[in-house]
Amino acid sequence: MNYHFVWSTKYHRKVLIGDVAETLTDLHVSIAQDKGFILNTQEVMPDHVHLFVTAHPKFAPATIVKIVQGITAKKLFEQYPSLRKQLWHGHLWNPSYYVGTCGETTKEVIQTYIETQKVT
């Protein structure tokens, strides 16, 4: 199954910049490899994330989000303690998220959309 996920930081705080964004990008790659997902495309914006993932249907989309959000929040808070000062109550991610599924015919369209989100 191909999934397009989008979720934002808590309070839409623009904290996913610089080293934090680079670390988050690397974490996504690592998590995908460890959990057996294929990370087709990703884009880390200052206040939200786009992931385009291919995963076995045994993984519910909610499970994928829970895994990725849980691991990334824990690791980013450990590596960047100053994030806790910018985000109250120790939550990095907004609990709401978007997920859309697609077949092979729209895979390229979604990848192109995600890749063009970052403004240079």
Handedness of CA 38, 43, 49, 50 (dihedral sign): negative
Do 43 and 117 form a contact (C-beta atoms < 8 A)? yes
**Can you tell me whether residue 14 is helix, strand or coil?**
coil
How far apart, in whole angstroms, are the C-alpha atoms of residue 30 and residue 91? Answer: 21
User: Catalytic pick from 3, 11, 98, 113?
Assistant: 113
What are residue 26's phi and psi, to 5 degrees? -65, -40
11 is catalytic: no
d(CA 78, CA 86): 14
Sequence-ordered list of residues with C-beta below 8 angstroms from that of 69, at least 6 positions apart, any chain: 7, 92, 93
Active site residues: 113
